[in-house]
Chain A
Amino acid sequence: MAKGIEVTDLDIYYGDFLAVEGVSMRIPARSVTALIGPSGCGKSTFLRSLNRMHEVVPGARVRGTVTVDGQSLYDASVDPVEVRRQIGMVFQRPNPFPTMSVHDNVLAGLRLNNRRIPRTEADDVVERALRGAHLWEEVKDRLGKPGKDLSGGQQQRLCIARAIAVQPQVLLMDEPCSALDPISTSAIESLIEDLKRDYTIVIVTHNMQQAARVSQETAFFNLAGAGRAGRLVEMNPTHRVFSSPDSPDTEAYVSGRFG
């Protein structure tokens, strides 16, 4: 079920400002691909262009193609809402819906799309998604409590449960651990390890140890120069990026000599 993603010559704009330039990459299915690079180099922008979240910002647009399972996401006939149902996203800061309970948060993707779900099926979906997000044991007795009452790490896993409850093909994660403590981070990392069996995962991270721990492929982004667009420097298997990268810039970044 999980699909790989093909990106060809993607330019990403905010209005007239070219933020990311000429990215081509192939993201393999059922594996974890990490995007690393200094702040402002366009990793998050690139990630958001993969499920058309980019265009939520007024004036934002792209040129080039993103293809999933043979379909170009930016075709005129493609509905961005449909794209986002297939390609889920987890954000930097946990953002459960404050007006909903834990239970309703998990079901939000289904309910808000107006699917009527029978009670028993709904409970099954909630349990499966929460188990999938390694959260079931911690919250099974307080499903009726507000999602905001959970700790930060639990909220982030709730957001992951909410994302996988709609059974997407791909899961995009935008620095999912940067607002969390080390214990919650390791909980999320072991969750990512499990999720990659079923999902194609793309994760943006500032933490290079994390990229090395969780990913199979790593893409290094960098700015072409001050005030210039971000670009993809290299993409290779993770062990190679961290041991013998192709580009001296990558070498300098992963060894901590800049950035």
Chain B
Amino acid sequence: MTDVLLEPTQPQFARLVVRKARLPRWAPALTAVVALAAAALTGLSLGWSPVAIVVCAAAVHVVALPAWSRVVENGRAAVDRLATSLVWVSLAVALLPLVSLLQQVVARGAREVDGQFLTWSMRNVVGSGGGIYHAVVGTLLITLAAAAISVPLGLLSAIYLVEYGGTSRVASGLRFLVDVMTGIPSIVVGLFAYATFALLLGPGIHLGIGGAVALSLLMVPIVVRSAEEMLKLVPAELREASYALGVPKWRTIWHVVLPAARSGILTGVTLAIARVVGETAPLLIIAGATDSVNTNLFSGQMESLPVFIYYSYTQPGLHPEHAQGHAWGAALVLIAIVVLLNLAARLLGRLPALRSHRRR
């Protein structure tokens, strides 16, 4: 029998290691540049297209950076580098068509847009000259009328869904139908509007208001969905605070809930307008096409920018070079309108919800 001697031992702590080998901050940029240079050298000598060179460079970068990282850093860091590179490459791939489209439209459209282009119609114009005033007026009128129809409808539906319907069967059914409506092809909407007006007013009918009805069918589901989300964000405590003051439900909705959700709803409406302002198919069918200015939604054919672009490009007539120039110019104006609407939506979303109270 031997006694087990317990020796006083020093506790052994592992050294706290937080410093590890890292690639320098500029490593991703360096691999990108090197990959691009290598791809360009190979590509130019073999006569590749620029697209192939860029794709090749992206592939080299996505492989090289993680490999370098695997050697210097560790496995986890390499996976991180791989994921980061893929994210960046995806972003670039997604942005490329957009940037190239904008560049093309600006390059070809900008030289067309001048005072005459914006203030003249195409009435009795053959060849050069003329403008898109009639199409701009038509687009603005039709879109405004579409908004006038769909904003009240959509907003009231959203109020029903959030404030009254809740989880009831009617509300769920309505939500489902709204979702289905979001996916209806615009050509079908145009045919529906045409059929409706043809039944009411006789066949062969072309009316601006018909285009507005068709566009509003596309707008309503977007307005309903965005307004519903915004109304849901208004805290229930605000509604209760209002009820507790003896305020009826409709006044609570009008004076408390809607103001609290105002900026979000306005943003949704603006985005819905931006979404339909470029619709071509329904307007082609029901609003028609004309070379003259028509400011009456309820009588006669009405030109719109998308339809103008479509006809100028597909049926350029005797002077295709002028007609196609017009199409590019109109495309630039249309894009400018959409960009302005999106900027407006951002500004509206940023507005403070407070209705300021002025003191003396």
Bind each other: yes
The minimal Cβ–Cβ distance linking B77 to chain A, given in whole angstroms, is: 45
- Nearest-neighbor residue (CB-CB) of A101 within chain B: B357
Residues of A within 8 A of B357 (CB): 100-101, 103-104, 143-144
- Could you say which residues of chain B place their CB within 8 Å of the CB of A163? 244-245
Tell me the nearest residue of chain B to A114, going by C-beta: B251
Partner of B256, one of A86, A112, A143: A112
Q: Complex Cα distance A88/B354, Å? A: 25
Contact B260 A98 (CB under 8 A): yes
A51-62 CB contact bits vs B (8 Å, 1 = yes)? 101001010000
Contact of A99 among B235, B355, B358 (CB under 8 A): B355
- On chain B, the residues within 8 Å of A89 by CB distance are 240, 244
Chain B residue total in the interface (Cβ 8 A): 29
Chain A residues 113 to 131 lying within 8 A of chain B, measured CB to CB, are: 113-114
A206 at the interface (CB under 8 A from B): no
Docked-complex contact A166 and B240, CB < 8 angstroms = no
Residues of chain A at interface, number, CB under 8 A: 36
Segment at the B interface, from A25-33, A77-85, A193-201, A208-216 = A77-85
Contact B242 A112 (CB under 8 A): yes
- List chain B residues, Cβ under 8 A from A96: 241
Contacts of A91 in B (CB 8 A): 237, 240-241, 244
Q: How far is the CA of A7 from the CA of B264 in the complex (A)?
A: 44
Among B245, B259, B356, B358, point to the contact of A162 (Cβ < 8 A): B245
The answer to whether the Cβ of A95 comes within 8 Å of any Cβ in the partner chain is yes
Q: Across chains A and B, which 9 residue pairs bring their CB atoms closest together, nearest first?
A: A85-B246, A109-B245, A89-B244, A101-B357, A84-B246, A95-B237, A99-B259, A112-B247, A95-B241
B residues contacting A by CB (< 8 A) are 166-167, 235, 237-248, 251-252, 255-256, 259-260, 262, 353-359
The contact sample of 12 A-B pairs, CB cut-off 8 A, is: A85-B246, A88-B244, A89-B240, A97-B256, A98-B238, A98-B260, A101-B356, A108-B242, A144-B357, A144-B358, A163-B244, A163-B245
Show the binding face of A for B, using Cβ within 8 Å.
51, 53, 56, 58, 81-86, 88-89, 91, 93, 95-101, 103-104, 108-109, 111-114, 143-144, 146, 159, 162-163, 166
